Amino acid sequence: MSRLLHGIGVGTGSATGPVARMAPAPALPAPRPVTDPAAEAAAVREALRAVADDLDERAARATGPGAEVLSAQAVMAADPVLADRAAALAARGTDGAHALAEAFDGFRAALAGAGGYFAERTADLDDLRDRAVARLLGLPVPGLPDPGHPYVLVAEDLAPADTALLDPERVLALVTVRGGPTSHTAILAKALGLPAVVGCADAARLENGRAVLVHGADGVVEPDPGPDAVARAADAERRRRERLAGFRGPGRTADGHPVPLLVNLGAPHELAGAAAADAEGVGLFRTEFLFLDRTQAPDLAEQAAAYRQVFSAFAGRRVVVRTLDAGADKPLPFATRPDEENPALGVRGLRTAARDPQLLDTQLAAIAAAAEGGAAQVWVMAPMVSTPQEAAAFTARARAHGLPVAGAMIEVPAAALRADRLAEVCDFFSIGTNDLAQYTFAADRTLGPLAGLLDPWQPALLSLIATAARAAAGRGRPAGVCGEAAADPALALVLVGLGITSLSAAPAALPGVRAALAGHTLAECRELAELALLADDADDARRTVRSRLGEG
């Protein structure tokens, strides 16, 4: 293995620690003849017991919402009916792995058939099956590792379900083999303020327990770092934190031009941290978490209760609610079709409302009900708007529900190119640079090998942002950025120079952005924006701007 491993850097800072790998789900081996059915049945019971004990122990140690999920899973694994069924199959001559798989499959079918809440738990059963089969076969148990000490998590990639269980007290940094700059792992790393390197192919060869130094900003993983390198990185990290702690309050440039700094919010367990953050509100409230892992949309009352919690946590501040963004990387059985050949180009985002208007109307009614009484300044916006007509229809529906401030996300190049027309019918824009990059470059945002195209410093992306910002300014409308681009301090300066009026990012990213703004005037931001637009490519833009800032 070469000395340094390279990938795509995410987040800021660095961290050192031992590797703990996330093991993949075990493949079921070919059936094998059973010579001692009684021993096979005992092994099956033992595997299930071990899984339940392990989950119980983890639940006792976990903090936050993960503890509840783990306890519920432990109860399922300890179900005597499940153990009896698997053991009976083994006693009749089915080998242990297949006996477990068959018993779980029976439960799974029953749960799926029950619909509603029960059907939503089938993914948990699949996870338990994989754990039990791995135990029985003596393979590494899949899922998040728990070595009993803080660690650097190394995984193929992280799914949204893994992220709920990730304990920020234990995980020092993230390294994934796959994933791009706007993948779930990258978004999670920023939300937790962890350094991460994604799309790092060589990480597949990092063994458990090996010490690594992870540099988030540079995308470098250093295996077996010497004491000097560790001390240098720790010192730089300490100085960085001290410097950032010196800046507080509303975002503004050195000459006082206000740039509201807002947080992105995407899961209930993020609410307390987001509300406590030094931020002027929520710039992107991703409402999908309420709908994910469901077979039916939550009703108006359930939605309103969830929105009300957020609005009261942000009383007096702005909350920009994005309506349901189903499809592509967020498929939902009741909103999107499973048979689309190109889901990223399919009926997703606002487009689902054309097929099922009730879904959007219920959500808007729930937001309006929760907003009543005015705890927060509630704005609503639609994802994946492509035409001025779509934007006009959305704002009209929002207003019909009594929601006066309605806007469009700019995530599709067509919307950016016709932003002057969109600005006539919207109160504001919020530019989703993750999807805008994906659609501008026809590059799947989840693919590591396409990270270069998805780089938010791409001048073509910056041109579209400039077009949208100019159109908004022409009609006196705000135009914020809520994609991952807003989390990069140097790029934030460029965005402000392009005419962006607010920036929304994970709470952990805001101090760096605030400090960068405080150090530069609006005129300097405009100069940096010019340089970036004139650059040959993303690397050139980043290098040129950083060297002008004295960082390169």
509 contact partners, CB below 8 Å, separation of at least 6:
11, 12, 190, 193, 486, 487
Lookup result for tokens 């030094």: 278
CA distance linking residue 550 with residue 366, whole number of Å: 49
Minimum gap (Å) between residue 31 Cβ and ligand PEP: 43
User: Binding to ligand PEP by residue 323, rule CB under 6 A?
Assistant: no
Is 482 an annotated catalytic residue? yes
Cβ-based neighbour number of residue 209 at 10 Å:
11
284 belongs to the binding site for ligand PEP (CB under 6 A): yes
97 contributes a contact to ligand PEP by CB under 6 A: no
Contact flag: residue 435 with Mg ion (CB under 5 A): yes
Instruction: Give the count of residues interacting with ligand PEP (CB under 6 A).
Output: 10
The interface partner of residue 482, options being ligand PEP, Mg ion, none and the CB cut-off 5 to 8 Å by kind, is ligand PEP
- Binding partner of residue 286 among ligand PEP, Mg ion, none, CB cut-off 5 to 8 Å per kind: ligand PEP
Tokens coding 423? 């600005």
Which C-beta is closer to ligand PEP: that of 284 or that of 366?
A: 284
Q: Which of 98, 184, 215, 401 is catalytic?
A: 184
When asked if residue 180 is in the footprint of ligand PEP (CB under 6 A), the reply is: no
Tokens of 248: 């507080």
Q: Is 280 in the site for ligand PEP (CB under 6 A)?
A: no
Q: How far is the CB of 486 from ligand PEP (least distance, A)?
A: 9
Residue closer to ligand PEP by CB (options 121, 445) is 445
Whether the Cβ atoms of residue 466 and residue 490 lie closer than 8 Å to each other = no
Cα(142)–Cα(107) distance, integer angstroms: 20
Site string for Mg ion, 393-412 (x = CB under 5 A): ------------------x-
Question: With binding defined as CB under 6 A, does residue 482 bind ligand PEP?
Answer: yes
Q: Which is nearer to ligand PEP, 198 or 482 (CB)?
A: 482
Q: Are 314 and 282 in contact (CB under 8 A)?
A: yes
Q: What part of residues 28-87 is at the interface with Mg ion (CB under 5 A)?
A: none
Smallest distance from ligand PEP to CB 158, Å: 15
Query: How many residues are there in the chain?
Result: 552
In degrees, to the nearest 5, what angle opens at C-alpha 85 toward C-alphas 80 and 90? 125
Is 432 one of the binding residues for Mg ion (CB under 5 A)? yes
Catalytic residue (one of 200, 426, 482, 525):
482
Helices 538-548 and 459-474, packing angle to 10 deg: 70
Smallest gap from residue 411 Cβ to ligand PEP (A): 5
Known active-site residue 184: yes
The residue within the footprint of ligand PEP, chosen from 184, 190, 286, 318 (CB under 6 A), is 286
Residue 287 beta carbon to ligand PEP: minimum distance, rounded to whole angstroms:
10
Tell me the CA end-to-end span of the chain in Å, nearest whole number.
28
> What residues numbered 409-438 form the site for ligand PEP, per CB under 6 A?
411, 432-435
Part of the chain binding Mg ion (CB under 5 A), chosen from 165-173, 275-283, 287-295, 430-438: 430-438
The answer to whether the beta carbons of residues 224 and 18 sit under 8 Å apart is no
Phi, psi of 339 (to 5 degrees): -105, 15
Angle between helices 510-518 and 227-245 (to 10 degrees): 70
Q: Nearest approach, Cβ of 472 to Mg ion (angstroms)?
A: 18
The SS3 assignment for 242 reads helix
251 or 432: whose CB is closer to Mg ion? 432
CB of 431 to ligand PEP, least distance (A): 7
**Buried-exposed string 239-254: b where 16+ CB fall within 10 A, e elsewhere:** ebeeebeebeeebbbe
From residue 434 to residue 463, the character string flagging contacts with ligand PEP as x (rule: CB under 6 A) and all else as - is xx----------------------------
Residues 6+ apart with CB under 8 A from 461: 433, 436, 437, 440, 441, 485
| Nearest distance in Å: CB 37, ligand PEP | 52
Count of C-beta atoms within a 10 Å radius of residue 302? 12
What is the rounded CA–CA span in Å between residue 154 and residue 186?
Answer: 13
With binding defined as CB under 6 A, does residue 351 bind ligand PEP?
no
Q: CA 293, CA 155: separation in Å to the nearest integer?
A: 22
Q: Which is nearer to ligand PEP, 222 or 329 (CB)?
A: 329
How many whole angstroms separate alpha carbon 7 and alpha carbon 489? 20
Is-contact 161 167, C-beta < 8 A?
no
> Could you identify the residue written with the tokens 């309050």?
249
Q: Which does 253 bind (CB under 5 to 8 A by kind): Mg ion, ligand PEP, none?
A: none
Residue 179 contacts which entry, ligand PEP, Mg ion, none (Cβ below 5-8 A, type-dependent):
none
Q: What residues act catalytically? A: 184, 482
Binding site for ligand PEP (CB under 6 A): 284, 286, 325, 411, 432-435, 482-483
Binding site for Mg ion (CB under 5 A): 411, 432, 435
